[in-house]
Chains A and B, each alone.
Chain A
Amino acid sequence: MAVRILFLGPLRDLAGKEAIEVSAPLDWSVLLQSVGEELAGQLQSDRVNVACAGRVLSDKTSLNARDGDEVALLPPVSGG
């Protein structure tokens, strides 16, 4: 088992794939290392949210994903 990191919306284009799998546990600093420099830069912006196991984290730096969790990277939602 592992942690699946899912890229949503424009972050998927940036990642060039839908998801990656990394070994558990996964915290904020390991997440930043796992996604590459460009995505890590985006993730550090206030506009990008993180959901873990179906819940949006109020403080994404407190991320603590365990075996089997899905971590979703949520870019700002579109208006229009």
Chain B
Amino acid sequence: MRDIRLLDQAFAPESLTKPFVRANPGLGGYCTFVGEVRSEEDVEALELSHYEPITLPGMQGLADQAFARFDLMGLLMVHRIGEMLPGEPIVCVSAAARHRRDAIQAVDFCMDHLKSAAWFWKREKRGGEWSWIEPREADHHDLARWRK
């Protein structure tokens, strides 16, 4: 079971993960990560932009890599786009597998790639002013962990 989506409205992660888990009968376990917009002192909003022709196909390609690399039964990968408020979910990845390590590692793998290699651009609003968020060196190190 594979469910890869972009959402332009706020979502409740449980409303996606519950049906996902039910759709993978016989699983040995599943692992879910939900990322939220961090509450920082003066951040009023976060906006994620994407480019339709490549962003979702890129996520599908990432799912292909995860299925090739780990022994998975199912993968749910949902990412928000548009404007969000602190505390709102921004990403939800859930992996179902026969064995736990495949599920846990697949989620970690997908998250590292979503953060530093997926086609999203973020900007944040502080004091009424928008500013773009630059790439972080730490994200590239996270990605390098998966190169053999």
Contact = CB atoms under 8 A, between A and B. Distances in A.
Contacts of A9: 49, 121, 123, 132
Interface string A24-47: 000000000000000000000000
Contact of B118 (A6, A51, A77): A77
Contacts of A78: 120-123, 132-135
Contact of A80 (B49, B115, B118): B115
Given A8-B49, A8-B51, A56-B54, A77 B132 contact: no
B121 A75 contact: yes
A76 B51 contact: no
B148 to A, nearest CB: 21
Contacts of A77: 116-121, 135
Interface of B: 49, 51, 53-54, 57, 115-123, 132-136, 138-139
Q: How large is the interface on A (under 10, 10 to 19, 20 to 34, 35 or more residues)?
A: 10 to 19
Contact of A74 (B51, B57, B116, B136): B51
A10 interface: yes
B137 to A, nearest CB: 8
Contacts of B138: 79
Contacts of A16: none
A79 B54 contact: no
Contacts of A13: 132
A45 B53 CA distance: 23
Given A70-B53, A79-B133, 18 more contacts: A9-B121, A9-B132, A51-B53, A54-B53, A72-B53, A74-B51, A74-B54, A75-B121, A76-B135, A77-B118, A77-B120, A77-B135, A78-B120, A79-B115, A79-B136, A79-B139, A80-B115, A80-B122
A79 B133 CA distance: 7
B54 A8 contact: no
Contacts of B132: 9-10, 13, 78
